[in-house]
């Protein structure tokens, strides 16, 4: 283990993000803890080989990494319960982990923590089409649920771009969204129940196949809690009938402002497409170079608007949308003519982060703003980045105001990295001032933990922490995340 006593994760060129100081007594008991864990899980459940441990040091917030104390991969809810009960009594921090695709460092461990990976709990337990539900283990990937029911004409609606890899447990922890949540909502709107293991090993069931669970909406609280309240081992999710057809259409504009205003007008007209995605010129160029999706390169902003339904339904909606776009001076309108073309259009969008990563290092912001503020915030974002001498590419879910400015920089240049971080912080402040929030779907994690005071008062943070403590009084679950380290309850 490198540098086990450091309190900060390593990051090339980035200001270190502090972790809670590791508990020396826990570090000293590592062998004893490993031995105890081995007894609690089935064969192969404790990862030992140094190479096999590597991937657990970080997630998709790759600028930071930190080797954990140990990694355990339980196979059942009972094993998860046993591991948590043990860690609770031994006062060892625990970080749950799905696929490690978190963009905010949510799954990055700390030196004295046991990583509890759900990857071996990846079974689809029950598909109940009449009640339109799927019961799955937490380590099941998002896409595999939709794949499982595709032949019967159903799907699971929230579709993060990472859906091939990310797990439903991670989706619940981050309340993940996707391109299509304008119509179908995010994870919390499609989640009916969970099996939750509390830090002392207690197993509780929240919700189920029925629509409204009794009592407090603890399910709503657990969703988006970033693994701070308990470990989810099973979930019941809503399945939805797949529409007959879906058609994305490309709209090119001469300015981001026009595109932004067009989005607001589409929504105001009472039309709710399934998706409205936005890209500015740099993003268009990057995605087109990677995916060859046929995006027009001579426009300043691109909207991908997707409508769905029967043929005549789509045609009627599109006609209205085109009329609105023309009022905003749309330059190019291109309907996809085939399923292949539609898939290509989405491939370009969904590979935006990966494609950007091939040409530069970037940090991805995730603030959400009210729709009416979009044009203003886009303009200011450009100005802020220019002020730091940095380039920015914007690609995001416009229909719900969830922005993703990608600030490009060179990670080998510490000065530039510091500028990128400073620009990012200013953009997030801007989002909050515009009536929005720090993060729409990627979560607070490590990344935005120290910015929480932009959005919340001390009393508000204290209240959230008090609720957190109702679940985990000793602060053992993913304790370095979400809440600023200073000002925590003793």
Partner 1 sequence: MTLPSMSSPSMISPAMILHAPRSEAEVVEIVRGALAGATPLALQGGGTRAGFGHAVAAEAGLSTSALSGILRYTPGEMVMTALAGTPLEEVEAALAGQGQRLAFEPADHRPAMGTQGVPTIGGVFAANVSGPRRIAGGAARDSLLGIRFVNGRGEALSAGGRVMKNVTGLDLVKLMAGSYGTLGLMTEVTFRVLPQPERVETLVFSGLEDQAAAELMAAAMALPADVSGAAHLPESVRGRFLAGALPEGAATLLRLEGHAASVAIRAETLTRALGARAPLQRLGPEQSESLWRAVRDIHPYAEDGTQRPLWRVSVAPMAGPGLVAALRMEAGVDAFYDWQGGLVWLRMEAEPEAALLRGLIAKAGGGHATLLRANPAARAAIPAFEPQPAPLAALAARVKASLDPHGLFNPGRMG
Ligand X SMILES: Cc1cc2nc3c(=O)[nH]c(=O)nc-3n(C[C@H](O)[C@H](O)[C@H](O)COP(=O)(O)OP(=O)(O)OC[C@H]3O[C@@H](n4cnc5c(N)ncnc54)[C@H](O)[C@@H]3O)c2cc1C
Residues 6+ apart with CB under 8 A from 486: none
Q: Which is nearer to partner 1, 150 or 466 (CB)?
A: 466
Nearer to partner 1, 24 or 370 (CB): 370
d(CA 204, CA 211): 18
Which residues touch 77 (CB under 8 Å, ≥6 apart)?
195, 197, 203, 233, 234
Touching partner 1, residues 253-282 (CB under 8 A)? 264-265, 267-268, 270-272
Q: Report the site for partner 1 in 200-219 (rule: CB under 8 A).
A: 202-206, 208-219
Determine the Cα–Cα distance for residues 107 and 444; give it in Å rounded to an integer.
11
C-alpha distances (whole Å) from 146 to each of 120, 135, 153, 349 are 20, 13, 10, 20
Q: Which of residues 98-137 bind ligand X (CB under 6 A)?
A: 98-103, 106-107, 118
Q: Is 361 in the site for partner 1 (CB under 8 A)?
A: no
* Binding of residue 375 to partner 1 (CB under 8 A): no
Tell which residue, 453, 454, 443, has the closest CA to residue 478. Answer: 443
- Count of residues in contact with ligand X, rule CB under 6 A: 37
* 152 near partner 1, judged by CB under 8 A: yes
Using the CB atoms, write b or e for 282-300: b if 16+ within 10 Å.
bbbbbbbebbebebeeebb
What angle do the packed helices 256-268 and 311-327 form, to 10 degrees?
Answer: 130
Per partner kind, with CB cut-offs from 5 to 8 A, the member of partner 1, ligand X, none near residue 3 is: none
Q: What, of ligand X, partner 1, none, does residue 138 touch, CB below 5 to 8 Å by kind?
A: ligand X
Asked whether the beta carbons of 56 and 72 are under 8 A apart, the reply is no
Provide the minimum distance between the beta carbon of 75 and ligand X in the complex, in angstroms, as a whole number. 13
Q: Which residues between 392 and 431 bind partner 1 (CB under 8 A)?
A: 397, 400-402
277 binds, among ligand X, partner 1, none (CB under 5 to 8 A by kind): none
CB of 483 to partner 1, least distance (A): 8
- Helices (H) then strands (E): counts for the chain: 17, 18
Judged by phi (left if over 0) then psi (alpha if -120 to 50, else beta), residue 280 lies in: beta
What lies within 8 Å, CB to CB, of 444 at 6+ separation is: 104, 106, 226, 438, 452, 481, 482
User: 36-95: which residues touch ligand X (CB under 6 A)?
Assistant: 59-60, 95
Q: Is 242 in the site for partner 1 (CB under 8 A)?
A: yes
**Binding status of residue 371 toward partner 1 by CB under 8 A:** yes
Is the separation of the CB atoms in 217 and 211 below 8 Å? no
Query: What residue 353 binds from ligand X, partner 1, none (CB within 5 to 8 A, per partner kind)?
Result: ligand X
- In terms of Cα–Cα distance, which of 51, 63, 50 is closest to 102? 63
Give the full edge-to-edge strand order of the sheet including 133-137: 124-128, 133-137, 231-238, 191-197, 203-207
By beta-carbon proximity to partner 1, the closer residue of 313 and 413 is 313
Which of 85-93, 97-105, 321-329, 373-381 is the region at the interface with ligand X (rule: CB under 6 A)? Answer: 97-105
Nearer to ligand X, 167 or 256 (CB): 167
Task: Tell me which of 160, 224, 248, 252 binds ligand X, using CB under 6 A.
Answer: 160
Instruction: From the list partner 1, ligand X, none, pick the one residue 96 interacts with, judged by a Cβ distance below 5 to 8 Å according to partner type.
Output: ligand X
Name the segment binding partner 1 (CB under 8 A); options: 297-305, 335-343, 417-425, 451-459: 451-459
Residue found by looking up tokens 């120290």 in the block: 450
Q: How far is the CB of 347 from ligand X (least distance, A)?
A: 13
Chain residues in the site for ligand X (CB under 6 A):
59-60, 95-103, 106-107, 118, 138, 160-162, 166-167, 169-171, 173-174, 176-178, 226-227, 231-232, 353-354, 441-442, 478
């Amino acid at each position: 283990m490198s540098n086990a006593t450091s309190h900060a994760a390593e990051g090339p060129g980035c200001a270190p993000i502090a972790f809670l100081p590791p508990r020396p007594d826990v570090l000293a008991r590592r062998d004893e803890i490993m031995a105890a864990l081995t007894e609690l899980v089935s064969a192969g459940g404790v990862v030992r080989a140094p190479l096999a441990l590597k991937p657990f040091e970080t997630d998709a917030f790759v600028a930071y990494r930190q080797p954990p104390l140990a990694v355990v991969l339980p196979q059942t809810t009972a094993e998860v319960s046993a591991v948590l009960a043990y860690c609770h009594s031994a006062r060892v921090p625990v970080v749950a982990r799905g696929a490690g695709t978190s963009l905010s460092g949510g799954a990055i461990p700390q030196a004295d923590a046991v990583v509890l990976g759900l990857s071996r709990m990846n079974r689809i337990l029950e598909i109940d089409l009449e009640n339109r539900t799927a019961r799955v283990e937490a380590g099941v990937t998002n896409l595999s649920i939709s794949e499982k029911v595709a032949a019967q004409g159903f799907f699971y609606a929230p579709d993060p771009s990472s859906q091939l890899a990310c797990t439903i447990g991670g989706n619940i922890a981050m309340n993940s969204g996707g391109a299509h949540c304008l119509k179908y909502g995010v994870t919390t709107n499609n989640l009916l129940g969970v099996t939750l293991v509390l830090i002392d090993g207690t197993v509780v069931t929240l919700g189920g196949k029925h629509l409204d669970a009794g009592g407090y909406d603890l399910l709503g609280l657990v969703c988006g809690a970033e693994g701070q309240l308990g470990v989810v081992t099973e979930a019941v999710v809503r399945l939805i009938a797949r529409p007959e057809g879906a058609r994305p259409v490309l709209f090119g504009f001469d300015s981001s402002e026009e595109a932004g205003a067009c989005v607001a007008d589409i929504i105001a007209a009472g039309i709710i497409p399934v998706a409205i995605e936005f890209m500015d010129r740099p993003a268009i160029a990057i995605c087109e170079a990677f995916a060859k999706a046929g995006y027009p390169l001579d426009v300043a902003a691109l909207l991908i608007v997707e409508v769905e339904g029967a043929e005549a339904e789509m045609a009627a909606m599109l006609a209205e949308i085109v009329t609105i776009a023309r009022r905003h001076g749309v330059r190019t309108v291109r309907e996809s003519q085939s399923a292949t073309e539609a898939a290509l259009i989405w491939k370009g969008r969904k590979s935006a982060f990966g494609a950007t990563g091939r040409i530069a290092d970037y940090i991805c912001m995730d603030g959400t703003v009210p729709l009416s503020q979009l044009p203003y915030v886009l303009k200011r974002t450009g100005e802020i980045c220019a002020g730091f001498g940095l380039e920015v590419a914007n690609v995001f879910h416009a229909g719900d105001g969830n922005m993703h400015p990608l600030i490009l920089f060179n990670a080998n240049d510490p000065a530039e990295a510091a500028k990128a971080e400073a620009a990012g912080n200013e953009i997030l402040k801007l989002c909050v001032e515009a009536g929005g929030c720090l993060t729409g779907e990627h979560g607070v994690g490590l990344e935005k933990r120290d910015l929480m005071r932009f959005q919340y008062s001390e009393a508000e943070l204290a209240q959230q922490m008090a609720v957190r403590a109702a679940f985990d009084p000793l602060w053992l679950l993913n304790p370095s995340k979400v809440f600023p380290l200073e000002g925590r309850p003793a």
